Structure 1
Amino acid sequence: MVLFSAIIFIFGAVIGSFLNVVIYRVPRGESIITPRSHCTKCGKTIAWYYNIPIISYLILGGKCKYCDEKYSINYFLVEVLSAIIALVLFMKIGFSLEYFLILAMFYTLLILSFIDLEYKAVPDWILLVVVVLGFSCVYNDFLDSIKNSFIFVGAFVMLDFFITFYIQNIKSKILKDETLKTQRALGEGDLPIIAVIGALLGLTSGMVAIFLAALFAIIPSIYNNIKNSEKQTAFIPYLSLGFFVEYIFQISKVIL
């Protein structure tokens, strides 16, 4: 069992290396197949022994072997998180078709999370992949799952309307900040993920996942306020984290 868990962890890290390619290249309109992994500064192809997931980053100190260009810590984080997700889901679900569907869904959410952190916008086609994978994982009454997803999306559309109205028409006047007049509470990319959360977790568990997401998002929001930063907080990473934590630990069954 320990050996198999180690294999799953390594498998997850290897997939994480590929997810890094997707996260970097898709927003730039580049192919995720060719060319091979290379340094974005000096352009040299990275040899396989300098491209071992997790290990190479640590050994090289997060720098390019050829030009000492500092790599983003995100490369390391994606590989570690990918490995952890693979292992934790395996321990919860076991080796099955459901495992691979759920794993693919959370990997797609991982991609969206890091793209959202960088660009505050995500490709629609990747959101569609999440929706397809999410609804493929529904094993209860499918119509109930559809109903729950509609309830969640409808509730958050109304919530977005009221909070956005407050930000644009009240907060902007109080703070005398013209930039707030175009700011929205939720991004359009949040809604498909909220729909999947409602469909997979149901109303009660889904609400706990959303609450956790809001709780996680408070920390960077407070930090930005303290720093007087105009940087908006990307919500997809925290939605995904809240979703994952509730899916794994089912906190709703403990507190409700």
Structure 2
Amino acid sequence: MDYLFVFLLGSVLGSFYNVLIYRLPRRESIISPPSHCPSCGSKIRWYDNIPIISYFLLKGKCRDCFASISLRYPLVEFLSGLLALLCYFKWSLSFESFVMFVFFSLLLILSFIDWDTFTLPDSLNLGGLAFGLVSSFFRENFTFWDSVVGALVGAVPFFLIYIFYVKVRKIEGIGFGDVKLMAFIGSVAGVWGVASAVFLGSLFGLLYAIPLIIKYKNISFAVPYGPFLSLGCFVGVMLRDWLSPIILQQ
């Protein structure tokens, strides 16, 4: 029952994450107006706002105007519930579990926003960086200096790449939001999280891009880097106990 409760709690929070994903890029208030249909503007009733379940009860359509509801809404709620479950499973009921759930939740929100808009809001990136630095004072096996070094190791190389593309090649190879994202990742997950984000994230990005390159027979398309960096970090952190011995033996 405790695992079920944790999943349900995470799913409820995922409903709020959907609000952030939709409203932050549009610079809308996350408080007012209440949740409403983006098509007809009708207020969503409480019984139509039950995470995951309401989507299927409504058959993916607004009760009032019958406009389609994106499958993303229950997907984010499910992923948020899954994150809560995995954090509880790995770190039990602890401060570390809380820190990592907040961390992964912010990465989830940032990933969906970046996928839609190719932007990473400072409110989440810099807020996450501050959270990483402050929370490091209260973590058992992660110090403030681990947080600072992780943030620098994450941000500096990406900043230099950003400058190279902008000043030398006169194009934006990576966004400055990615620089801030890597600082945020490093502040919470340290150097290991940064390395995981870069190497695993690049691998996941390549696996996504190869079919597109084959399909369109060119490489002239843009892919948001944030979601892959976030996924790489998540996998690296969750599987660290398994990956570390393998890497150290090489």
Superposition TM-score tier, normalisation by shorter sequence? 0.7 to 0.9
Unaligned residue ranges in structure 1 (runs of 5+): 170-180
Aligned position for 2:91: 93
Q: Which residue of 2 aligns with 1:240?
A: 230
Q: Please provide the CA RMSD for this pair.
A: 2.4
CA distance in structure 2 between the aligned counterparts of 1:11 and 1:231, rounded to whole angstroms: 38
Q: Which residue of 1 aligns with 2:28?
A: 30
In structure 1, what is the Cα distance between the partners aligned to 2:237 and 2:51?
A: 26
Matched with 2:239 is 249
Match of 1:135 in 2: 133
What does 1:58-97 align with in structure 2 at a 5 Å threshold?
A: 58-97=56-95
CA distance in 2 between counterparts of 1:202 and 1:35 reads: 38
The alpha-carbon distance between structure 1 residues 38 and 205, as it changes in their structure 2 partners (threshold 3 A), is closer
Q: Distance in 2 between matches of 1:43 and 1:199?
A: 40
> Hey, what does 2:155 align to over in structure 1?
153
Q: TM-score normalised to the size of structure 2?
A: 0.85
User: Which residue number corresponds to residue 203 of structure 1?
Assistant: 191
- Any idea what the Cα deviations from partners look like across 1:137-194, whole Å, max 9, x if unmatched? 43434224323432332223334455x37xx85xxxxxxxxxxx63x22211112221
Contact 1:116 1:122 in 2 (8 A): yes
The one-letter code of the counterpart of 1:120 is F
Q: Separation in 2 of the partners of 1:29 and 1:149?
A: 27
State the TM-score, normalized to the length of structure 1.
Answer: 0.83
Query: For the residues of structure 2 that align with 1:234 and 1:89, how far apart are their CA atoms?
Result: 26
Shift of the 247–50 alpha-carbon distance from structure 1 to 2, 3 Å rule, reads same
* Counterparts of 1:64 and 1:219, CA distance in 2: 36
Pick which of 68-77 and 198-207 moved more. 198-207
**CA separation of 1:59/1:223 partners in 2, compared to 1, >3 Å: closer, same or farther?**
farther
Rate the CA distance shift 1:17–1:229 in 2: closer, same or farther, 3 A.
farther
Aligned residues: 240
> Relative to 1, partners in 2 of residues 1:102 and 1:204: Cα closer, same or farther, differing over 3 Å?
closer
Distance 2:185 2:42 in 1: 42
Tell me, yes or no, if the aligned pair for 1:212 and 1:242 is still in contact at 8 Å.
yes
Q: SS in structure 2 opposite 1:189? A: helix
In the alignment, structure 1 residue 189 sits paired with structure 2 residue 191? no
Contact map agreement 2:52 2:77 (CA 8 A) in 1: yes
Aligned to 2:102: 104
Contact 2:197 2:228 (8 Å CA) reproduced: no
**C-alpha distance in structure 2 between counterparts of 1:122 and 1:198, whole Å:** 16
Give the Cα separation in 2 of the matches to 1:108 and 1:201.
13
Distance 1:64 1:231, change over 3 A: farther
Q: C-alpha distance in 2, partners of 1:156/1:120?
A: 17
> Residue 154 of structure 2 aligns to which amino acid in structure 1?
F
Alignment partners' CA distance in 2, 1:23 and 1:161:
29
1:94 Cα deviation after fit = 1.4
Shift of 1:116: 0.7
Counterpart residue type for residue 208 of structure 2: P
Distance 2:21 2:193 in 1: 29
Counterpart secondary structure, 2:68: coil
Counterparts of residues 4-19 of structure 1 (less than 5 Å): 4-19=2-17
> How far apart are the structure 2 equivalents of 1:205 and 1:125?
21
| Distance of aligned partners of 1:22 and 1:60 in 2 relative to their CA distance in 1, 3 Å threshold | same
Residues 48 and 204 from structure 1, CA distance in 2 versus in 1: closer, same or farther, beyond 3 angstroms? Answer: closer
Query: In 2, are the aligned partners of 1:102 and 1:134 still within 8 Å (CA)?
Result: no
Is the contact between residue 89 and residue 103 of structure 1 (CA under 8 Å) also seen in structure 2? yes
